[in-house]
Amino acid sequence: MSDIEDKHKGSYETKVHPILSSDVMSARIENVRSQLEWEPSAEKSGWENFVDSFKRVHVDEVDPNLSVAEKIAVKTARSPLKRKLKNRHLQMIAIGGAIGTGLFVGSGSSLRHSGPAGVLIGYFISATFILCVVCGLGELAVEFPVSGGFTTFATRFIDESFGFAANWNYLLGCCCTLPLEMVSASITVNYWNTPKKYRDGFIALFYVVIMGINLFGVKGYGEAEFIFSAIKVTCVLGFILLGIILVCGGGPNGHYIGGTMWKSPNGAFVGENGGQRFKTVMSVFVSAAFAYSGVEMTGLAAAETANPRKSIPKAAKQVFWRIAIFYIVALTLVGLLVSHKDPRLIGTSSADAAASPFVIAIVSHGIKGLPSVVNVVICIAVLSVGNADIFGASRIMVAMTEMGHLPKWCNLDYIDKRGRPLIALGVMAVFGAIAFIAASPKEGEVFTWLLALSGLSALFTWFGISLSHIRFRHALSAQGRGTDELCFVSPTGLYGSYYSCIIIFVVVCLTFWTSLWPYKTAPNAEDFFESYLSAPIFLVMYFGHKIYRRNWKIFIPSSQVDVDTGRRDTDIEQLKADVAQEKAEIAAKPFFKRFYYKVC
């Protein structure tokens, strides 16, 4: 491939230096990574090895003759993060990543504002496009398990300005969600009538635990998430079994419930006519986006996964079934057990565990003891989400520094010999300290505005992932290549990514409408920005970067997109042969095994 002149600093054209073919470049990346594996020295004391582990890993500078795009691709591909996540870690991260306060507590607000049918419609439609997003992400993450994961794909396959805006939006969301979750925890302990003077103590406890976990590196994160996710999954499955028993009349009260909560005087929807009901259903999507956020963590963890080719496809294909079980079934039972007119759903704030429909459903049917168990699980869910936020945001900061989206002098790409991004973790520790506002009487307002900053960020991230998948496929086609060279092909395909982009765009537009003209209240700035603050921030970032870099392209030309740098499998012909052999072996298996492989 001939050189393409990089005419100005904003150019994002891909240029392959003549002395660096894709095979040679990938070989160099792997050689650098192999040299970065650090083990404690037997000649040093334990303390000396401990101190030595915090020293920065030295990485050679990239070839200055490379283009901006290639420099970013090489830097993110050879990042010295450790590949310590195993298949069991990734599976549990995928299962439990989206189970948090959004499900246990936030679903109560959705139920109150839209009714049981509105909740199911909003969450189910969201589940369909999330399936497409995660499958497309799985395809990209298997091929390019690079530092920053999906945060680098937008910059690489779409446009530098879009990547800049999307990455800052996601980072801001993570930085806001961390203190938000710890404030949630402080409000959750109110269920046990905890004296307010102890609130800072609980915040400090959660703060120390999740920061300590991340100081153990990626392995600490993986083991903690494995345990947290197992507890959350057990709780949801237990509630589903209990909910079925209660709906059928097997509770202490012995009353058959069935579908009575969907009938008059409660009703399945909120609103007196079709237009009002449509508006209340649309209000669910922001809550669903906050609840589902976390499903993309498998793509972010790809760079630190021992074998992404085997682990990520399973995690991606099983997302739909996990969402169907843990969200759709659980929320169906919640809608059958709790009236959307129940005054307890209002709570003292949007993080009040007493307003959890799971807790209300159990309390309303005379079961003692279990509500406290659910609240303990809510606290664990808070720890899990906070743990994921620190892990994700710290890795994003590293990637954004490598991409030039954060100042180099901040040293946020500092990675020590154990693969820990120490300075980025320190920045997250500072943001986490915002949670100590829980002792303030304004904690509810702080929670609301933190939620506003992070509310739509997940939607913009998912849109960027699907658009990156579309651009990657177009780049393959434009360069005369096909999906036969891919280790994993998205089951939902290119059309699935188009579907998710369209639905997300429609949801963002309709959310603008419901935010500007909310149900039952006159248009006001506070309600609008509480629901839609992420959107103007994204637009300011996008156009601000365009103006600063004088980069007026919407997309990187498909023929110039780098589809090679960062791949772990560099021998394309051998890879095609391996993929063809795997497909032949699967085709020879019995029908039920082929079906299981297809959907799981």
Segment 551-591, tens digit of pLDDT: 888 888 998 888 887 776 656 677 677 777 777 777 777 77
pLDDT (0 to 100) of residue 498: 96
Segment 59-100, tens digit of pLDDT: 666 666 666 666 666 666 666 666 677 777 777 776 666 777
Segment 24-34, tens digit of pLDDT: 444 444 444 44
Phi and psi at residue 218, in whole multiples of 5°? Answer: -65, -30
Do both 584 and 495 map to the same domain? no
Distance between CA 320 and CA 479 in Å, rounded?
32
Return mean pLDDT, the chain: 78
Does 204 have pLDDT greater than 50?
yes
Residue 30, in any domain of the structure? no
pLDDT (0 to 100) of residue 351: 52
Do both 578 and 504 map to the same domain? no
> Between 192 and 7, where is the model more confident?
192
Residue 541, in any domain of the structure? no
DSSP 301-356: GGGGBS-HHHHHHHHHHTHHHHHIIIIIIHHHHHHHHS-TT-GGGT-SSTT-GGG-
Do both 109 and 144 map to the same domain? yes
Residue 124, in any domain of the structure? yes
pLDDT (0 to 100) of residue 69: 63
pLDDT (0 to 100) of residue 299: 74
> Tokens for 288?
């669903």
Does 413 have pLDDT greater than 80?
yes
Q: What is the pTM of this model?
A: 0.84
Does 461 have pLDDT greater than 70?
yes
pLDDT (0 to 100) of residue 477: 92
Residue 48, in any domain of the structure? no
> Tokens for 163?
């990547």
Q: Calculate mean pLDDT across residues 468-486.
A: 90
Do both 436 and 577 map to the same domain? no
Does 138 have pLDDT greater than 70?
yes
Residues 6+ apart with CB under 8 A from 40: 46, 49, 52, 53
Confidence of residue 475 (pLDDT cuts 50, 70, 90): very high
- As for how many domains the chain has, the answer is 2
Region of residue 193 (left: phi > 0; alpha: psi -120 to 50; beta: else): left
pLDDT (0 to 100) of residue 58: 67
Do both 434 and 582 map to the same domain? no
Residue 10, in any domain of the structure? no
pLDDT (0 to 100) of residue 570: 58
CB contact at 8 A, 195 and 508: no
Does 372 have pLDDT greater than 90?
no
Do both 477 and 355 map to the same domain? yes
pLDDT (0 to 100) of residue 463: 93
Residue 240, in any domain of the structure? yes
Q: Calculate mean pLDDT across residues 418-438.
A: 83
Helices (H), 433-492: 443-455, 457-478
Residue 25, in any domain of the structure? no
Following CA atoms 566, 97, 399, 209 in sequence, which dihedral angle do they give, to the nearest 10 degrees? -130
> Tokens for 306?
């021992």
Least Cα distance to 170 among 458, 422, 545 occurs for 458
Q: Calculate mean pLDDT across residues 282-302.
A: 78
Q: Which domain range does residue 464 map to?
A: 79-440+459-512+551-569
Does 7 have pLDDT greater than 60?
no
CB contact at 8 A, 469 and 188: no
DSSP assignment, residue 416? Answer: B
pLDDT (0 to 100) of residue 472: 93
Segment 515-553, tens digit of pLDDT: 888 767 777 777 787 778 888 889 999 999 999 888 888
Residue 352, in any domain of the structure? yes
